[in-house]
């Protein structure tokens, strides 16, 4: 997997331009794939596609399987005659600035409801058959998720662990009553998933047709406020009141002196092992359907994970606990014919993590922004790379290259200058060139770095809530000149299909 020289761009669909306040799975998505092709890129990397919850973070989703209804393209609904021009005209005007998730969701809700009712009343027999087949094929997670969303809305959007006891503990009679009472709203959420998956699979098919592979993202942990935690409490470290005993995070690191306290419930790996990790098998299967390659965020948690008592306010007082290790990946190998997995091996990486990664041949990650820390030697400087890795100028958790360079110490800037042999003019392009020229099989650049944007375009600042995940590109950010420049660099460093064929 990923054993030939290639490259790609990291851009989450929400960051695409468009008329409705957020990037969607419509025209702009297909145009971006065309841009990738013109730029001779073979990979499109995205963040998790799930429905976002707390802080609008794609790493805190309401489901490990569901898609984000915010990404449903309204113009495609219009094309399918499920909504009207009048429906779209009734929406407020959105500029092309950062995503305002609350305003976007409020504006979209009545339009999506109209599409739902139109579908119920006028769908063809073929469409109804496709819908029934979808409900059947996704029933393992879809029924719980749809009911979870319906109850959540009835409960004023409070998290499930604050619902009344009978709903919180899934009392059968209470659940049955809720299913009857909330049947229309439950069906609405099933319909949204049907539309999302249909639109996304059309995107994936278009990418495949143009020989662009999609790299998706799985967070190791699931959100505490998710249908997964509510429907499967026995798989998590919960007390008798279904509250966490310990939660996930990482110890103090590059990003935070007090560590990162994520608040995600921890898995009961011992119980998951008893049914051959069936919950994880289903999760991996869903994601292999959505993506060509899966990046597992916080891969090190499979070797050992940082467990923090639920009462703690920071992540400092955690302990390392052994993860499921090779037993887990052996089970995955027995279930799936191939495991196209990227290991996010950043942070505190120990020999057991490296051994787990290398045993299965998973490529790890190298971040160029980490390479020029003049205070210590590190594995991120390009002369230390092996071929089986992916080099990034930065990730969604980093500042942009331009922003990083502006805030870097004088010593770090000098080290970057000396290594790159550049005065720092167009530092973002210097970093792209350095990544593309490296021995790493794969090189990825976030779109913000390709555009040379500053800290205002940063996607996420770890350890903070608010103001994250909302950057959007503008319609003019994908010119042919930029595609041609990246294509030339890609050919020069042997990362395009044509350049590789010439060297064989």
Domains of the chain: 6-220+276-303+326-503 (3.20.20.80)
Interval 412-431 mean pLDDT: 87
pLDDT single digits (tens) 73-126 = 999 999 999 999 999 999 999 988 999 999 999 999 999 999 999 999 999 999
pLDDT for residue 504: 45
Instruction: Name the residue among 295, 343, 441 with its Cα closest to residue 3.
Output: 441
DSSP classification of residue 425: T
Catalytic residue, chosen from 144, 344, 369, 477, is: 344
Contact call for residues 185 and 148 (beta carbons, < 8 A): no
Per-residue pLDDT reduced to its tens digit, 17-45:
999 999 999 999 999 999 999 999 999 99
pLDDT of 358-385, one tens digit each? 999 999 999 999 999 877 778 999 999 9
pLDDT tens, position by position, 193-217: 999 999 999 999 999 999 999 999 9
Task: Report d(CA 32, CA 16) in Å as an integer.
Answer: 8
pTM of the model: 0.96
Question: What strands lie across the sheet with 293-297, from one edge to the other?
Answer: 341-343, 293-297, 213-219, 43-45, 6-10, 442-446, 389-392, 364-367
- Name the band, by pLDDT with cuts 50, 70 and 90, for residue 337: confident
Cβ neighbourhood burial of 332 (10 Å; 0-12, 13-18, 19+): middle
Q: What is the distance between the alpha carbons of residues 181 and 155, in angstroms, rounded to a whole number? A: 13
Confidence check: pLDDT of 421 > 90: no
End-to-end CA distance of the chain: 19
- Given phi > 0 = left and psi -120 to 50 = alpha, else beta, which region is 469? left
- Determine which one of 73, 397, 399, 477 is catalytic: 397
HEC readout, 379-422:
CCCHHHCCCCEEEECCCCCCCCHHHHHHHCCHHHHHHHHHHHCC
Has 344 been annotated as catalytic?
yes
Residue from 297, 369, 399, 430 carrying the catalytic annotation: 297
Alpha-carbon distances, residue 49 vs 4, 46, 53, 265, 392 (angstroms): 27, 8, 12, 20, 21
pLDDT class of 503 with cuts at 50, 70, 90: very low
Residue 355 tokens read as: 């051994």
d(CA 99, CA 43): 25
């Amino acid at each position: 997997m990923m054993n030939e020289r290639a490259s790609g761009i990291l851009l989450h669909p929400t960051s695409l331009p468009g008329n409705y306040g957020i990037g969607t799975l419509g025209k702009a998505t297909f145009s971006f794939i065309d841009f990738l092709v013109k730029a001779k890129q073979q990979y499109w990397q995205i963040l998790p596609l799930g429905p976002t919850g707390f802080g609008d973070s794609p790493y805190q989703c309401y489901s490990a399987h569901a898609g984000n209804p915010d990404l449903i393209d309204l113009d495609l609904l219009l094309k399918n005659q499920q909504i009207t021009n009048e429906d779209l005209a009734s929406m407020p005007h959105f500029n092309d600035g950062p995503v305002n998730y609350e305003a976007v969701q409020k504006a979209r809700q009545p339009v999506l409801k109209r599409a739902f009712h139109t579908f119920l009343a006028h769908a063809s027999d073929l469409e109804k058959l496709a819908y029934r087949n979808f409900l059947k094929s996704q029933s393992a997670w879809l029924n719980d998720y749809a009911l979870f969303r319906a109850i959540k809305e009835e409960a004023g959007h409070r998290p499930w662990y604050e619902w009344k006891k009978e709903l919180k503990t899934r009392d059968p009679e209470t659940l049955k009553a809720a299913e009857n009472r909330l049947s229309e709203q439950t069906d609405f959420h099933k319909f949204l998933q049907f539309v999302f998956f249909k639109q996304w699979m059309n995107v994936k098919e278009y990418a495949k047709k143009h020989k662009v592979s999609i790299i998706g993202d799985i967070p190791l942990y699931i959100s505490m406020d998710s249908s997964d935690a509510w429907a499967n409490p026995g798989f998590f470290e919960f007390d008798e009141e279904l509250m966490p005993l310990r939660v996930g995070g990482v110890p103090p690191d590059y990003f935070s002196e007090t560590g990162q306290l994520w608040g995600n419930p921890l898995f009961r790996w011992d119980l998951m092992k008893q049914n051959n990790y069936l919950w994880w098998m289903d999760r991996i299967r869903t994601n292999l359907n959505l993506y060509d390659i899966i990046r597992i965020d916080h891969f090190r948690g499979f070797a050992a994970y940082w467990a923090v008592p639920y009462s703690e306010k920071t992540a400092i007082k955690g302990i390392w606990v052994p993860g499921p290790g090779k037993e887990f990946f052996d089970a995955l190998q027995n279930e799936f014919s191939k495991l196209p997995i990227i290991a996010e091996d950043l942070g505190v990486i120990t020999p057991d993590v490296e051994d787990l990664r290398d045993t299965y041949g998973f490529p790890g990650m190298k971040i160029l922004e980490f390479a020029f820390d003049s205070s210590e030697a590190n594995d991120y400087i390009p002369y230390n790379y092996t071929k089986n890795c992916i080099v990034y100028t930065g990730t969604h958790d980093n500042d942009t290259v331009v922003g990083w360079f502006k805030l870097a110490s004088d010593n770090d800037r000098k080290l970057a200058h000396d290594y790159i042999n550049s005065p720092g003019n167009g530092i973002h392009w210097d970093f792209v060139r350095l990544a593309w020229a490296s021995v790493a099989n794969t090189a990825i650049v976030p779109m913000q770095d390709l555009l040379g944007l500053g800290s205002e375009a940063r996607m996420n600042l770890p350890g903070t809530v608010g103001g994250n995940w909302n950057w959007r590109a503008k319609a003019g950010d994908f010119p042919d000149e930029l595609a041609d420049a990246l294509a030339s660099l890609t050919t020069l460093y042997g990362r395009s299909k044509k350049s590789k064929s010439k060297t064989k």
